[in-house]
Structure 1
C-alpha cells in the first residue's frame, strides 16, 4: 500500500467516523465532565502522596 492509498483510506475512515458521531447532550456532557474531574483529582492525589513520601524518605 503506497502513501496515496494510505491517505485515501484515512480520509475515508475519518469521514465515516464523523458521519456516525454526534454532539453529546447536556446530561452526557456533565457526566463526562464529572468523570474527568474525578480522574484528575485521583491522579493528582496519587502524585501528591508520592511527592510527600519522597520528601519524607529524603529523595
Structure 2
C-alpha cells in the first residue's frame, strides 16, 4: 500500500512540475525557429559528412 502511495505522490509531483515548466516556456519567434532549424540541419550535415569520410577511409584501407 505504501508503494502505491509513493508512486501516486511521485506521479502527482511530476505532473505539477510539468505544468510549471509549460507555463514559463514560450513559443519561439519565427526568426529564432529558422535559426534553430539551420543550426540543427548544419550539425546533422557535418556529422553525416564525418561518417561518410570515415567510411571512405575505412574502405580504402581494406
How many Å separate the matches in 1 of 2:61 and 2:30? Answer: 46
2:36 aligned with 1:32: yes
- Divergent runs of 4+, >4 A: none
Which of 23, 36, 48 is residue 52 of structure 2 equivalent to?
Answer: 48
2:21 aligned with 1:12: no
- Root-mean-square deviation over aligned CA pairs: 1.2
How many Å separate the matches in 2 of 1:56 and 1:41? Answer: 22
Q: Which runs of 5+ in 1 are unaligned?
A: none
> Aligned residue pairs: how many?
58
Q: Which runs of 5+ in 2 are unaligned?
A: none
Q: In terms of Rg, which structure is larger?
A: 2
